[in-house]
Amino acid sequence: MPGRVRLTGEGLASLVARTAQASPLHAQLLATEPAEAISIEVPAQFGSVQVFDLTVHTRRRPIELRVADLGAPSGEVMLLGDGATVDALARRIGLRLETPEQATEYVRFWCRTATRHTEQLVETAADFQWIPGVTTDPDLRGHADRAAHLARKIAVGHPAAGAFPAEVTMLEQRTLHLRQLRVGVDGHVDEVSRVELERDVPVPYTLP
């Protein structure tokens, strides 16, 4: 999907209505509170399936949902947010990963949609959102420089026994980890191990 697209008008209204039907827990809020939806990049193997960040603006704080729109003819939507729901989407579309390039694209999507909202994939220094003090505090600057240096692009090896080995760097709140993953050809992902790379990375704290 080229770029990010913001839904408006009938497209937004349709997505909100179908999401309310799929998620009774959020139905009342979706019916009464303003919402916005912005598309996120999906793997090429997903075909016509679109995935959106759907944000409901409540008085307390925004509620963020990730919604997969399976499109015509069913018009079905699926809520994502953990490994099980992304697995269900992969099964629904008959996902089959055949090359490291395809697996890399899928891992990037998986890190965005199957992990907690307090976790973030970081591949380059540009992926960090630094707090203002980084520009004036030498200690914060040091932590930032180390974290930026340790961030790395997703690395995927050749498949063996039906799975690709992969490594990613991810922030969990303010801690940077190197995580080793096992990515099945069917899209199922298992975490094999994680190593702490840097604590106290100077980025904003995310409310749980």
One DSSP character per residue, 43-102 reads: -GGGTT-EEEEEEEE-SS-EEEEEEEE--TTT--EEEE-SHHHHHHHHHHHT----SHHH
Looking at the chain, the whole-number percentage of residues with pLDDT higher than 70 is 99
Amino acid at 97: L
pLDDT of res. 1? 42
Amino acid at 49: V
Maximal CA-CA distance, the chain: 57
Mean pLDDT of 49-61: 94
pLDDT tens digit sequence for 110-155: 999 999 999 999 999 999 999 999 999 999 999 999 999 999 999 9
Residue 130 CA to residue 144 CA, distance in Å, equals 8
pLDDT tens digit sequence for 180-194: 999 999 999 999 999
Would you say 199 and 174 are in contact if contact means Cβ atoms under 8 Å apart? yes
* 18: confidence class by pLDDT, cuts 50, 70, 90: very high
Would you say 40 and 65 are in contact if contact means Cβ atoms under 8 Å apart? no
Mean pLDDT of 46-67: 94
Any alpha helices (H) in the chain, and if so which ranges? 9-22, 24-32, 83-93, 100-113, 138-150
Q: How far is CA 103 from CA 21, 22, 24, 41, 100, in A?
A: 32, 29, 33, 14, 5
Residue with tokens 């579309």, as numbered in its chain: 93
Residue 172 predicted with pLDDT over 90: yes
pLDDT of res. 3? 67
Structural domain spans, the chain: 9-80, 100-198
Other C-beta atoms lying within 10 Å of the C-beta of residue 25: 9
pLDDT of res. 206? 87
